[in-house]
Structure 1
Amino acid sequence: MVAPTAAARRRFGPATTVLVGYAAVVGSGFALLTLPIAKAGPGGARPLDALFTSISAVSVTGLSTVETADHWTFFGHAVILLLVQTGGLGIMTLASLIGLAVARKLSLGSKLTTSAETQGVGLADIRRFITGAIVVSLTVEAIGAVVLGVWFAAVTGFPPLEAAWYGLFHAVSAFNNAGFTILPRGLVPFVGDPVVSLALSALVLIGSLGFPVLDELRRFPRTPLRWSMNTRLVLWGTAVLTVVGTLFITAVEWGRAGTFGPLDWPTKVPAGFFQAAQTRSGGFSTVDVGQLDGATLIVMDVLMFIGGGPAGTAGGIKLTTFGVLFFILVAEMRGRAAVNVFGKRLLRAVHRQAITVSLVAVGVIVASTVALALLSDEPVDRLAFEAVSAFATAGLSTGITSDLSPAAQALLLLLMFAGRLRPILLASALAVRTRPLTYEFPKERPIIG
């Protein structure tokens, strides 16, 4: 991992430093994946495939132009795993951890860049955030790796070392919401396996909560009254959207021949729960997403667009942003001047930030879908699904990614990179560049609606 130097941090602002750091890691991953040792079979990987995979791993998305299990060797899989772990924890988080280990303190520049990367975690909390994020990540991943590794060895018959490697890879991929799988036949054979499905779903959902939420749950597990508005919004949003997604997907796909139809009824609800959990930004699938009903794809688009909690491994506009928009709507419908959430009033600046982030995201996705439609002959609903999945770093795919033209794949590549950095750069810009005005324009009200 190549971290920006102290001189670079002085030249660039925090947001730019984060961008440079991520670009450096993507470049390193690209260089390693182009080596002949990384690709199965003769020769090296196609440059676009290597770059696409590197960005997909660092942005913890999971989209791929090739079959991950067959195209890459053990070395290639190890590189992808390292990129996923680095991207999930954050470049500046890891760089700051190294600074803590060496100097036992953080410079102001390190605090600013890590704060920008973690979307506004206070400077006073940076040290606890970094150590907490590392401890939580490694602990949850280790537990997941043991559970999956033991189950793979006991049930599937994989040799112990191979089962342990599969367990570790998928635990890291799931917790970081990356969606990469290296199993020979993917996860489809495990659609009825309760241990694999529940373990991966749990890892995805825990990772999607965000490190600030996990830190509060660790410190105040039995005192919900001490939880912040952020934690409550994320927990309530995760529960409601997962339940709604499970019910909708299960109901629509219940008798569909290409998806849940062949499954016995005790397997259909867990399969629906698994797919709903993956829309938090997980990216795994135990059924053929390309065979899902169009209505299911639209609902999954919405769920992926919302994403998970801030300052974590999930993508999307974030549950907190969606929650703020929901409570703004409720306040307007009730004719209230102030927006109250869980007994506290929202700042006016938060209203503008949530609306701005959402409108920018909608604009990017619409423009990208139009561009993909011009570059491809695939159905528009499939292209919109790919665009949302890339921008929300969800990694779910209808199976058309590898069939797209190089220009369309390059657009998805940019969407994944922008999707990982958009909350960091945009939220940082909105929070930092608030400038007081010494004058006000006269007020006038247009007709709304």
Structure 2
Amino acid sequence: MKTLQRVAILGGSRIPFARQNTNYVNTSNTEMLTAALKGVVNKFKLEGERLGEVAAGAVLKHSRDANISREAALDSGLSPSTPAYDVQQACATSLQTTISVGNKIALGQIEVGIAGGVDSSSDAPVALNEKLRQLLLKFNRSKTRSERFGVITEIRPDMFAPSIPNINERRTGLSMGEHCELMVKRWKITREAQDELALASHLNGAKAYQEGFYDDLIMPFQGLNRDNNLRADTSAEKLAKLKPAFDKTSGQGTLTAGNSTPLTDGAAAVLLSSESWAKAHGFEPQAWLIDAESAAVDFFGPHPEGLLMAPAHAVPRLLARNGLTLQDFDFYEIHEAFAGQVLCTLAAWESSEYCKNTLGLKAALGAIDRSKLNVKGGSVGLGHPFAATGARILATAAKNLAEHRAKTGQSGRTLISMCTAGGLGVTAIIEG
């Protein structure tokens, strides 16, 4: 029986993230993912190489993009003999592709692979009205001219209104922002606390750019060389002036456009390998993928949990399996779907009642050092193309650990936590 291999994170590449309907308004998911893959191929000189696999995906996906990973891989410069496939797990898509590729490397099934993700809110798939779609299918099944004519007579003008995609939860009809409003009210998270975290997201990201941290992580694309949502000049005063975005009528809404992630376009990818492959090709791993854990919560039953609280459940199991406490980390990368969602998760871990009664723990997990949280910027500041954010976080965290090691001479550890639609959460530990 083979022993498990260590999974090396060699580095990543992404295109700058762009707010919806700005720089990438006429750019497809396939084009953006191809650019991110090319960034990895060029960075690690993989032209013509056959890799074990490429795994990526998108949340907002056209039917024509049945396997965008394969199409992008074929245009990336890799050997056409490199397999590729799509994955979709909402906002955790490219963290899940990383785990999938990493698990195959650990088992010795492959030696090297690329994981990534892409999403375009600007080029979202617009579908036919459902009634019109059903009539067109009925027309196609018709055998005679009279049957077809009968179908045509059923068409009504209102059927030509397009079906616009949304990401509201099917079981509740509520948007993610509306669900998060329920969460922050339950956990008594203030508007000021949310704005404070949002401000740090922007300022940490701006500082990282100023220090050159992103110089080799981001490749210019479509006239853009940095994330265009990032606001180095924002302030607590400016954020405080914004109106509620989801609860506009009760007078108690605290989620705004400033402390929530914007609809964003972008793509990201990361290169993973076995230790032996990295050594044979002369690459120094930035970090190691240690372990991962997923969770799901019941957000619609008689005693619903908050939609975005699944990471609060996943992390304790991950910690227990690895003999760690919540404080045993040098850095924390918690995806900021909303600033309020991050604060709800942190409050849950600090709550003895929640940890005992809901998570089944003996005591609270405790607080984290906030100065170690999203130190290179978070999703609120940098933007959030749904399926691309996991790879963005992983590549950032791995490089940050490599720099930490170079500066201190000590290895470090990062906890990654991502919430997703559907009441899901995916978490991981990396070391380097």
TM over 0.5: no
Higher helix share: 1
TM-score norm. by structure 1 comes to: 0.27
Quick one: higher RCO (CA 8 Å, sep 6+), 1 or 2? 2
TM-score norm. by structure 2 comes to: 0.28
